[in-house]
Amino acid sequence: KSKNEIRISSVFKKAPEAFLNMIAVHELAHIREKEHNKAFYQLCEHMQPNYHQLEFEMRVYLTQLETHGSIYD
């Protein structure tokens, strides 16, 4: 059963605000579309027109954290 609540990992405490917005959009889209399908991504793009670019940049950010640690330390 889904609780329809949004949880954001503590790894994003120091993340750029744009990433937090993208995550919120992603999680809000899951309330309507449970799967990562075409309708899901269309809804994300509707709510945040640059969603795909932000998702890509967030993945680069997470890779940076994983390989080199925080860029903010």
The pLDDT, as a whole number, for residue 26 is: 95
Average pLDDT for 58-71: 87
* Contacts for 18 with CB less than 8 Å, ≥ 6 apart: 54, 57
The pLDDT, as a whole number, for residue 5 is: 76
Rounded to whole angstroms, the Cα distance separating 70 from 52 reads 23
**Tens-digit pLDDT profile for residues 25-53:** 999 999 999 999 999 999 999 999 999 99
> Which carries the bigger pLDDT value, residue 24 or residue 5?
24
The pLDDT, as a whole number, for residue 36 is: 96
Secondary structure letter of residue 7 according to DSSP = -
